[in-house]
Amino acid sequence: MFRPTGFAEKRTLSVNFSLIVKNAATKVKKAAMKKTFIFFFILSRLKKTKFFSLNFNHSFLEDYMRSTAWNDEENKVLPEMALDFMPEEKLRDLQLQRMRATVKLAYEKVPLFRERMDEKGLKPEDIKSLKDVAKLPFTMKKDLRDTYPYGLFAVDLSEVVRLHASSGTTGKPIVVGYTKEDMDVWAQVVKRGLLACGFRSTDIVQNFYGYGLFTGGLGIHGGFEALGATVIPISGGNTERQVMLMKDFGVTAVGGTPSYFVRIIDVAEKMGVDIRDLKVKRGIFGAEPWSDGMRDYIEEKTGIKAYDIYGLSEIVGPGVGCECECRDGIHIFEDHFYPEIVDPETLEPLPDGEEGELVLSTLSKKAMPIIRYRTRDITAIEKTKCKCGRTIRRIRRIGRRSDDMIIMRGVNVFPSQIETALLRAEKALPHYQIVLDTKNNMDTLEVKVEVSRDMVSDSMSDMEQLNKKFKHSIEQILGISVIVTLCEPDSLPRSEGKAKRVIDNRKKM
Ligand code: DLL
């Protein structure tokens, strides 16, 4: 069939042309959609930064992480530790920005916090410098109890990916929640603590902190996992099995309460296992006060290096702070937690170097921002810089809590003083329990001391001498008379978590 030349081409051309137009239109449409998407994305980011995000100023942090030259030849300073060494001025800037964002979030979302701010005539905008933090109201454990279970949450429950709770000796427990971002921060701070103490991804870790509602097990687990170590989530208990696995699995690092590790040491001895012969090199201990004497005991008996990690459920769990290789105080991860020391009586802020009650605020927590939490832990912020070069400040190791205090015939007594006295009298670490009672209308303090097998003697006079030695040492430190009762090896109850040192049978007036 005849067709004028060019018809087909023309048709093809016109088809092509319409295709080109169609394609172009699609492209324009796509580009417009892309632009709209980018616009809304940026808008949402900006919105997030302005109203919701507590983690802004990331550009500075990212630049800082990139620009710092790392000397990890000796595996001492690693890029993951960058935030521990941030220039102080930048750190304070970051803290202020995050504090302002946290206060705004809490004011907008937590009724109790808003009420307390309103009572003081304060608005979030009034926090213009870190000095202004002292104007903010305190938060106390009672506030968490009174708002049980979710009253202090600042996000919808749908954003909460984890709940923990304190066991609480009386009444209701306290409940804490975490968003996905809170969980990441938690794992990162624990990881930074572990790195600072020399734990590495090559470690095989036996984690005998309790798993469950207590933050210890899963908190330490998250940090080790973020580090890339191999974690054995054994939890507390079944002590003979703990010893067996430590040996068979080639464990190089352990984590748990120091009192439970002392129990493991005892049981290992009975099983004929010397932990010094195993591969364990390091331990990360916390959740309860443990003296330097206890550290020496653990290190001598096992040949490991023992490090202190600090934290509390209300703030994040373990990882609020941790020692470094210098073991000269606990570095607080100040980019996420803001520490203050106040006089426990007047509640006035105290200068660095002075001992008082530690007050902590969260700086990046979303699910449950906490402002000025009175921890009851007694410590001081160190004035001097740590030899490790970290700019994040240190607190002294926690030896006591203000509510641990026993008032005995007008004298303030802390269980940690009794531990120190016992260690001073006899270099071995005795298991002990403090029993308070009322006899003939007078309060008494009895220290039950369990003697170790090598302290036991058939001679009455030897045992009497030992009793006198303990009694003298305790009375010298406390300045009051006490009763000392020696108990047989293995007779005092053992804890798989935090040790319960005080039993109070006193008559309440
Ligand atoms: O004990 C969190 C934690 C778990 C920390 C594992 C370290 C390791 P809570 O059960 O809420 O949380 O108890 C918090 O325990 O206020 C201190 O009185 C005490 N505490 C925690 N760590 C230490 C420590 C966890 N390293 C309370 N030294 C805190 C002394 C500690 N006391």
How many residues are listed for the chain in this entry?
Answer: 509
Please determine, for residue 312, whether its predicted confidence score (pLDDT) is greater than 90: yes
Atom of ligand 1 nearest to the CA of 320: 5
Q: For 376, which DSSP code?
A: E
Percent residues over pLDDT 70 in the chain = 83
What sections of 48-161 are H helices per DSSP? 58-67, 88-109, 111-119, 141-146
Atom of ligand 1 nearest to the CA of 313: 11
The Å distance, Cα 94 to ligand 1 centre, comes to: 26
The Å distance, Cα 323 to ligand 1 centre, comes to: 14
Instruction: Give residue 458's pLDDT.
Output: 83
357 lines ligand 1 (CB under 6 A): no
What does the pLDDT average to over 265-290? 96
**Each residue of 412-457: pLDDT tens digit?**
888 888 988 998 888 667 789 999 998 887 889 999 999 888 788 8
**Beta-bridge partners for 421:** none
Q: Which residue has the least CA distance to atom 21 on ligand 1?
A: 287
Instruction: Give residue 1's pLDDT.
Output: 34
Atom of ligand 1 nearest to the CA of 397: 28
Q: How many CB atoms lie within 10 A of CB 262?
A: 19
* Distances 427 to 97, 257, 309, 506 between C-alpha atoms, Å: 50, 21, 25, 31
Pairing status of strand 253-256 against strand 282-286:
parallel
What does the pLDDT average to over 142-147? 94
Atom of ligand 1 nearest to the CA of 330: 26
Domains of the chain: 11-76 (no CATH), 404-504 (3.30.300.30)
Please determine, for residue 41, whether its predicted confidence score (pLDDT) is greater than 60: no
* Distances 89 to 94, 96, 186 between C-alpha atoms, Å: 9, 11, 24
* Distances 238 to 191, 262, 506 between C-alpha atoms, Å: 27, 14, 34
What sections of 156-307 are H helices per DSSP? 180-196, 215-227, 239-248, 258-270, 292-302
CA neighbor of 447 nearest in space, from 419, 424, 410, 428: 419
Distance CA 44, CA 95 (A): 24
Instruction: Give residue 308's pLDDT.
Output: 98
Please determine, for residue 393, whether its predicted confidence score (pLDDT) is greater than 80: yes
The Å distance, Cα 257 to ligand 1 centre, comes to: 9
CA angle 97, 100, 101 (to 5 degrees): 85
435: which 2 tokens?
A: 């029993």
Distance CA 191, CA 94 (A): 21
CA neighbor of 182 nearest in space, from 143, 222, 209: 222
The Å distance, Cα 361 to ligand 1 centre, comes to: 16
The arrangement of strands across the sheet holding 253-256 comes to 230-232, 204-207, 253-256, 282-286, 305-312, 317-322, 330-332, 394-395
Distance CA 320, CA 219 (A): 11
The Å distance, Cα 443 to ligand 1 centre, comes to: 30
Atom of ligand 1 nearest to the CA of 286: 26
Beta carbons within 8 Å of 407's beta carbon, 6+ residues apart: 413
pTM: 0.83
Mutate to test the pocket of ligand 1, among 284, 310, 368 (most ligand atoms within 8 A of CB): 310
Mutate to test the pocket of ligand 1, among 175, 257, 288 (most ligand atoms within 8 A of CB): 288
**Each residue of 148-205: pLDDT tens digit?**
999 999 999 999 999 999 865 556 789 999 999 999 999 999 999 999 999 999 999 9
217 lines ligand 1 (CB under 6 A): no
Q: How many CB atoms lie within 10 A of CB 346?
A: 9
The Å distance, Cα 286 to ligand 1 centre, comes to: 6
The Å distance, Cα 217 to ligand 1 centre, comes to: 12
310 lines ligand 1 (CB under 6 A): yes
The Å distance, Cα 224 to ligand 1 centre, comes to: 18
Amino acid type, 305: K
pLDDT band at 64 (very low <50, low <70, confident <90, very high): low
Three-class DSSP category at 389? coil
pLDDT band at 81 (very low <50, low <70, confident <90, very high): confident
400 lines ligand 1 (CB under 6 A): no
- Helical axes 258-270 vs 292-302, angle rounded to 10°: 30
The Å distance, Cα 204 to ligand 1 centre, comes to: 24
* Distances 100 to 97, 115, 130, 332, 343 between C-alpha atoms, Å: 5, 17, 9, 19, 24
The Å distance, Cα 377 to ligand 1 centre, comes to: 9
Please determine, for residue 370, whether its predicted confidence score (pLDDT) is greater than 90: yes
166 lines ligand 1 (CB under 6 A): yes
Cβ atoms 280, 254 nearer than 8 A: yes
What torsion do the CA atoms of 217, 222, 228, 234 make, to the nearest 10 degrees?
20
Amino acid type, 62: E
DSSP readout, 222-263? HHHHHHT-EEE---S--HHHHHHHHHHTT--EEEE-HHHHHH
309 lines ligand 1 (CB under 6 A): yes
Q: Which residue has the tokens 């210890």?
A: 216
